[in-house]
Amino acid sequence: MTRIPLETALDELIEHKKRMGRISMRHMFSSDADRFKTFSASACDILIDYSKNRVDTDVMSSLFALARSSSVEEKRNAMWAGERINSTENRAVLHMALRYQGDKPVKFDGRDVMGDVRQVLGVIREFSENVRNGTITGSSGEKITDIVNIGIGGSDLGPAMVTRALSPFGRKDLRVHFVSNVDGADIADTLAGLNPARTLFIIASKTFTTDETMTNAASARQWLADKLGEGAVIAHFVAVSTNIAACINFGINENRIFGFWDWVGGRYSVWSSIGLPVALAIGYENFTAFLAGAAEMDRHFLETALESNLPVILALLGVWHRNVWGFSTQAILPYDQRLARFPAYLQQLDMESNGKSTQLDGSAATLGTGPIVWGEPGTNGQHAFYQLIHQGTDIIPCDFLLAANPQEDMSPHHAKLVANCFAQSQALMLGKTIDEVRAELVADGLSVEQTEQLAPHKVFPGNRPSTTLLYRQLDPATLGKLIALYEHKTFVQGVIWNINSFDQWGVELGKQLAKNLLPAVQNKTARRKAANDASTEGLLSSYRRFQEKQGK
């Protein structure tokens, strides 16, 4: 199919916007008793209610046509076929193979990768089970009680988020900690109070050269060697890496190096050996349920018509908001405390994938691409930024996430949580008119003058879009489905925007400049590789003055 430029497709969508702009969502619901049924979809035990968006059947038809004209189906199939769709790095994108449950080959360059994938999974299973049952111990024979994962980016955020989300499936006698920031406070606070004889470190770095990770790894190694002796290092460190020689040189046993592949991007890697801390925390059986849940969503994405395809629907709503209505941000609002890190996880997934201004052919993007993604759990956020969401000058599309069944049996907590979640999306849709406010104030006994002074401040404009994702319970399989859902949503949007969602060149420049600046930061007499701008020079001078005052 010939690709139709997004700009061309937007002409029709902009006409839809003009029409929808004259209709309130209140009216849409009052005039259509079947609106929820028409604009909701279910699959994989997840319900998506997108009826509280300013869409109708004509809008959705045009959006699905846009997806087809953008070759979403063809690109989807090319990804699964192992084609090198990551064009700027000449790589395939096969994270779906990491959780594939079928028996058909998954090929890359003509070779089935599933043998390698399942071999690594087998090693993860053996190692995680042996740590959990006490077969693998520390150097003095003591059982491992604390695991410290040292990584950054996808090597940290994915397993950290998943481990926290699935904490009910963990064990109190096996704690998992995560260190990512090169700020020494991160590793110092983590190591404080740990027993080195009972601590296992996982160093997660594909190249084993990532600066932040290796700096933290060196500090952890020194801490352990100081406490237990140099000979203990080999019993307390494992690595997730492809650089075998560097791992061995660090002091890691070759049998404790877990590999993965260059067709796995960092932010898509929690399904691989990067997920080792997850398997250790919740057990391999639960880890496989996590993989199986994602695989179920993969099948849905690969096999379901666009009109009923959950990731496609979410993606198209995002394009509608970003490119037609001009909304530049997206709030992720889990009414599920254990998903506290899920918004941050999706920040990386979405903003590192689609935060691009260059199209696949090298030309500049002429339309907005990835939105700003942010959020916090409800109900905490209601007492913070919901003021802006409801009455601010910027409209912020919201995704609400909610489990129908909690892990805890603590009435009335969950009922109140559910009521708040449903009420927030209802309030965003309905708003409150000036007449409704006046009637309430008068009923409360305010005078006419008081009512007129206060009423404008209590008006809610409404017509603010939100989508609610309702699922049975937050368990390993469901979390796998949710992550895969948003992975595929991000991919679909990248296809429509004609960008490469799988590189991340934008993280490189700051790293390069940091290396150039480090000698000047460490030593004021160091020779500069290049002249700095006046601001940077001023900051370096001020930094030294503050250090001198501290006696350094």
Of residues 212, 352, 376, 487, which has the active-site annotation? 352
Of residues 172, 383, 549, 552, which has the active-site annotation? 383
Of residues 27, 416, 511, 515, which has the active-site annotation? 511
Phi, psi of 451 (to 5 degrees): -60, -45
254: annotated active-site residue:
no
What's the rounded Cα separation, in Å, for the pair 54 and 373? 20
143: annotated active-site residue:
no
Half-sphere exposure of 4 (CA within 13 A, CB side): 14
What is the per-residue DSSP string for 425-488? HHHHHH-B-HHHHHHHHHHTT--HHHHHHHGGGG-B-----EEEEEEEE--HHHHHHHHHHHHH
Beta-carbon contacts of residue 380 (< 8 Å; ≥ 6 apart): none
Q: Give, rounded to a whole angstrom, the gap between the first and last alpha carbons of the chain.
A: 66
What's the rounded Cα separation, in Å, for the pair 52 and 22? 16
The size of the chain, in residues, is 552
8 A C-beta contact, residue 187 and residue 176: no
What is the per-residue DSSP string for 226-284? HHH-GGGHHHHEEEE-S-HHHHHHHT--GGGEE---TTS-GGG-TTTGGGHHHHHHH-H
Beta-carbon contacts of residue 347 (< 8 Å; ≥ 6 apart): 373, 374
> What number of other Cβ atoms are within 10 A of residue 123's Cβ?
17
8 A C-beta contact, residue 332 and residue 341: no
Peptide bond into 467 cis (omega under 30): no
Tell which residue, 95, 120, 142, 130, has the closest CA to residue 268.
95
- Strand pairing report for 257-258 and 199-204: unpaired
414: annotated active-site residue:
no
8 A C-beta contact, residue 42 and residue 355: no
Record the tokens describing residue 121, joined without a space: 């999974």
β-strand partners of 334: 401
Name the burial class of residue 78, with classes exposed (0-12), middle (13-18) and buried (19+) by CB atoms within 10 angstroms of its CB: middle
What is the set of active-site residues? 352, 383, 511
